[in-house]
Structure 1
Amino acid sequence: MRNTEHRSVLWLIPALFLAMLTASTVVWAQSEARVYELNNRTADDIALQIRELYQQSPVTVTARGQQLVVRGEPALLDEIGTLVQSMDVPPVQMRISVRYRQNIGGKQSGDGVSLSNGSAGASVERRTISTNSSRERQLIVQDGQSAHITSGNVRTLPFAVKGGRNPAAILQQVETRSGFVVSPQAISNQAVELSIVSFEEDPAALPGYETEALMTIRRVEPGQWVSLGGTRTSINQEQQGITYRVNSKRAENLSIDVKVEILP
């Protein structure tokens, strides 16, 4: 009796395997391939996003120049076709404006004694210095591009910054170790997400440097100024001699702001 049951189990194993193989063959036979012609985006770019979205689905995606070849079940292909159509749009253009504001203020006071023709005279001097300056730099970027801001200049990075919210990964891609990398992404016509990375070596080593964090994610309205940080420097000096004394105070503030506008 046991031998009969054992033989029955052995007979069921290949039968189950054959049934599974037949089922998978039927599913694969039901799949089809569709070709999507792209007009605005590259096939490699969209293929990467499709693969990430459908990792757990029986779908194969191949990029051929401006053609995207997708194989899968018809229902999935209908869904992917709608998605590809919504993704194949011209990249959003944005204007990044960087504003540098500098304020220099100081006070100087002094008194002294002078001798002339045998008579002594006293003098007192008071002076106040105040200087304000502001300058802007602008740059046009496409959605997905990044701007590098440093030393009063702003430039487009010649590559797509990768690494998500990992500042260390971004740091390895940017040759210079100074300034900020700003990566804007248009969420809608009323919202822009700014990824801001500040580098420790510039000018964090300077006394009085202020910034929010190594990496900051901000969601702002288009045209809204966002502070990146700045420097504050204060100097107190005193000079004196036998017949004079001079006291001076000087403060210098530098702030950096950025705003992003979505172009029509």
Structure 2
Amino acid sequence: MNTAMNCRPTLSLLLILLLFSGALAAAPEARTYQMAQRSAEGVAQQIRELYPDGQVSITARGQQMVVRGEPEVLDEIGRLVETMDVAPSQMRITVRSRHNVDAKTGGGGFSVNNNQVSVQAERKVTTTRRNQERTLIVQDGQSAHIASGQVRTVPIAIRGGRNPAAFLGQVETRSGFLVSPQVISDQAVELNIVSFEEDPKGNPPGYDTEAVMTIRRVEPGEWVELGSTRQQRVGEQSGITYQTGNSRRQNQTFEVKVEVL
């Protein structure tokens, strides 16, 4: 009887010690990770996306990142950092554009000379076809802005949403495409494509562009159609003795391919 009673405090004490040691083992701690190839902020952003529920607290400056969390999670992050801290891949983006313009003009009129009536009529059709290719070198984390046949680098990758260009001084136009490539493997490249379109109902000022995001996974060197832009104008003028009309229709199609260097 006494032996059983003596065992109970001992078992209780052991249970308390086990619970206490388990709590100590799971207590959050802070670890510092030093980057050799990439900026700490770039790696930190990717880590935050993988652990979005407040599992870890991350601060980054320069090449150093400090993460606070449970030891098991920190072990995982350590392994991730080893795979992420590599030199950014360089890629060549080639943009091919086809620009077609169809213009029509026509007019007619009459004149009277010595009681003779003369009637004049004229019709003219002009068709223009132009193909163009441009190339640009970018790294992981950069985007290419494509508009009106021009291609330029944007320093950070863009995500979808309403008017993402509003916070980028480098993007002045409100139309075109933003292409953000990311190397997945030797056989695959992921393209994050944001297409811009004018939104005349935009309010407040500065937020009058809608952006639609598409994600495509392609092989390096494969051509991908981004989309096309169309414009059409019709005009007419008339007077007592004449009438003229004109119409202009233009269509521009863009394709892009990415090659890993």
1:217 to 215, 218, 231: 215
After TM superposition, list the pairs within 5 Å mapping 1:13-162 onto structure 2.
Answer: 16-25=15-24, 27=25, 38-50=35-47, 53=50, 66=63, 72=71, 77=75, 83-116=80-113, 119-150=116-147, 153-161=150-158
TM-score (norm 1): 0.64
CA distance in 2, matches of 1:168, 1:121: 58
2:190 to 180, 188, 193: 193
Q: 1:235 and 2:234 equivalent?
A: yes
CA distance in 1, matches of 2:62, 2:105: 69
Q: Which amino acid aligns with 1:170?
A: P
CA distance in 1, matches of 2:92, 2:18: 60
**Residue 238 (structure 1) shift:** 5.4
Who is 2:174 aligned against? 178
Which one has a larger percent strand, Structure 1 or Structure 2? 2
Q: 1:257 and 2:251 equivalent?
A: no
SS in structure 1 at match of 2:37: coil
* Contact kept? 2:32, 2:65, Cα under 8 Å: yes
Across the aligned residues of Structure 1 and Structure 2, the Cα RMSD in angstroms comes to 4.7
**Residue 253 (structure 1) shift:** 1.6
Runs of 5+ in structure 1 lacking a partner?
Answer: 207-211
Cα deviation digits, residues 221-240 of structure 1 (max 9, x gap): 44413223312213153535
Who is 2:204 aligned against? none
Are the structure 2 counterparts of residues 59 and 213 from structure 1 closer, same or farther at C-alpha, using a change threshold of 3 Å? Answer: closer
Q: Which amino acid aligns with 1:167?
A: G
CA distance in 2, matches of 1:82, 1:108: 68
Are the structure 2 counterparts of residues 259 and 129 from structure 1 closer, same or farther at C-alpha, using a change threshold of 3 Å? Answer: same
CA distance in 1, matches of 2:189, 2:117: 70
CA distance in 2, matches of 1:231, 1:112: 32
Who is 2:206 aligned against? none
Q: Which amino acid aligns with 2:87?
A: P
**Residue 178 (structure 1) shift:** 1.1
SS in structure 2 at match of 1:234: strand
CA distance in 2, matches of 1:51, 1:213: 25
Are the structure 2 counterparts of residues 105 and 170 from structure 1 closer, same or farther at C-alpha, using a change threshold of 3 Å? Answer: closer
Cα deviation digits, residues 155-193 of structure 1 (max 9, x gap): 3233454xx5x5148355334461243322222344332
Count of aligned pairs:
241
Cα deviation digits, residues 68-95 of structure 1 (max 9, x gap): 788946x984x66654443232211223
TM-score (norm 2): 0.64
* Contact kept? 1:95, 1:263, Cα under 8 Å: yes
Runs of 5+ in structure 2 lacking a partner?
Answer: 202-209
Who is 1:209 aligned against? none
Q: Which amino acid aligns with 1:18?
A: L
**Residue 23 (structure 1) shift:** 3.5
SS in structure 2 at match of 1:154: strand
SS in structure 2 at match of 1:167: coil
CA distance in 1, matches of 2:45, 2:141: 14
**Residue 220 (structure 1) shift:** 3.5
Are the structure 2 counterparts of residues 126 and 168 from structure 1 closer, same or farther at C-alpha, using a change threshold of 3 Å? Answer: closer
